[in-house]
């Protein structure tokens, strides 16, 4: 069997086109959705993520501004910057690019973003709403993107066994909550695996839907996958590749060559979950502007 590819680039492009229409309608009513991106330091990965996000905003008419701050910025100064953005009506959404330098506790910064402007859905108030099954607040972008990939690919999680590998509060844990919600497009029975899981393959082999967000290449290989399963690879890992001009390439957490011979549907890296994460950032910005416009 050769798996059908779930094309994240195409699905994200459709979503962005829908969002562009919504931005146009809001702008016609005098509300231009605005996103403030805060970047501390000059980590090349973070710089390129923030640049890509700003470009994606511009493409669909979202106003965005990136605030680049030095790596040694004191915590209080960063908190003051966020407080100013919370009060700035031009911005409906605030993105704090992670990771932050070690002298700044990420949780303190994420907690300081006004929940209504929390574009990543990582404020405890928003994560709490997610846990209560409320879907009208900002939902963390990557798990939301995975749910959208499933929905648009005709994969209904209802009654299925979904296995999520990875329990971060950014990806795995909110995804397990979303998949197990008592709601249309969810209602799966969920197993959440991590490094304390005794026999990972015993769980992954029973998955109808397998989502891997471990951050380690080769975490899931062909013999760990049930034939016909849907496999979503969230991992983005840089590995050395002398054949590339830049000296590296991106790979996921799944052994694509082997697993694509067993799975029924599969995402690629790049071109799978990554484009969805950015599209969901735009969706959360537009949603925040819509809520603000409604007063
Ligand atoms: P993270 O915070 O490092 O969490 C990784 C999780 O995977 C942890 O819960 C860890 O378990 C678990 N894990 C690691 N190795 C494992 C193994 N061999 N078996 C079972 N569980 C294992 O990472 P993250 O932020 O969730 O990100 C995960 C991956 O997704 C990374 O590659 C990241 O770059 C990528 N990512 C991609 C996007 C995108 O847009 N495509 C967005 C976000 C993240 P413990 O809790 O026990 O340590």
Number of other residues whose CB lies within 10 A of the CB of residue 66? 17
Ligand 1 atom 13 nearest Cα: 214
Which CATH entry fits the domain spanning 32-115: 3.40.50.10860, 3.40.50.970, 3.40.50.11540, 3.20.20.80? Answer: 3.40.50.10860
Q: Whole-prediction pTM value?
A: 0.97
**Residue 97 among the catalytic residues:** yes
Question: What distances in angstroms separate CA 17 from CA 24, 37, 56, 154, one per listed residue?
Answer: 11, 22, 11, 20
Beta bridge partners of 38: 67, 96
Cα–Cα distance between 38 and 99 in angstroms, integer?
11
pLDDT score of 166 more than 90: yes
Domain definitions of the chain by residue range: 32-115, 141-274
CA 7: distance to chain centroid? 16
Q: Report domain 141-274's class.
A: alpha beta
**Residue 182 among the catalytic residues:** no
Higher pLDDT, 45 or 32: 32
Choice from 95, 119, 168 to test ligand 1 binding pocket (greatest atom count within 8 A of CB)? 168
CA 78: distance to chain centroid? 24
**Which of 234, 292, 222 shows the shortest CA–CA distance to 2?**
222
Res 41: pLDDT: 96
Q: What is the pLDDT of residues 71-90, one digit of tens each?
A: 999 999 999 999 999 999 99
pLDDT score of 219 more than 90: yes
Find the 264 Cα to ligand 1 centroid distance in Å: 23
Find the 73 Cα to ligand 1 centroid distance in Å: 28
Q: Closest ligand 1 atom to the C-alpha of 167?
A: 9
* Shared fold status for 32-115 and 141-274: yes
**Residue 96 among the catalytic residues:** no
HSE-up of residue 89 (Cα within 13 Å, Cβ side): 5
């Amino acid at each position: 069997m050769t798996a059908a590819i779930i094309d994240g680039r195409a699905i994200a492009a459709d979503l962005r086109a829908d969002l562009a229409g919504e931005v146009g309608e809001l702008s016609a009513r005098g509300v231009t959705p605005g996103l403030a991106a805060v970047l501390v330091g000059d980590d090349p990965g973070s710089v390129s993520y923030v640049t890509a996000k700003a470009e994606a905003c511009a493409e669909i008419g979202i106003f965005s501004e990136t605030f680049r701050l030095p790596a040694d910025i004191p915590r209080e100064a960063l908190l003051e910057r966020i407080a100013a953005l919370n009060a700035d009506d031009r911005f409906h959404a605030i993105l704090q690019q992670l990771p932050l330098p070690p002298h700044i506790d990420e949780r303190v910064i994420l907690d300081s973003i006004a929940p209504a402007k929390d574009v990543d859905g990582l404020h405890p108030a928003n994560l709490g709403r997610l846990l209560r099954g409320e879907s009208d607040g900002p939902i963390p972008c990557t798990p939301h993107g995975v749910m959208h990939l499933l929905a648009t690919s005709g994969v209904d999680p209802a009654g299925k066994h979904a296995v999520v590998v990875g329990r971060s509060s950014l990806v795995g844990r909110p995804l397990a909550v979303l998949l197990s919600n008592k709601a249309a497009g969810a209602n799966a029975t969920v197993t959440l695996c991590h490094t304390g899981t005794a026999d990972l393959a015993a769980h992954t082999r029973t998955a109808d839907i397998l989502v891997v967000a471990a951050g380690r290449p080769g975490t899931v290989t062909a013999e760990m996958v049930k034939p016909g399963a849907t496999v979503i690879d969230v991992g983005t890992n840089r590995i050395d590749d002398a054949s590339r001009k830049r000296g590296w390439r991106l790979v996921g957490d799944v052994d694509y060559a082997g697993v694509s011979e067993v799975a029924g549907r599969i995402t690629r890296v790049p071109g799978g979950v990554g484009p969805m994460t950015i599209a969901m950032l735009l969706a959360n910005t537009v949603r925040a502007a819509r809520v603000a416009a409604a007063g």
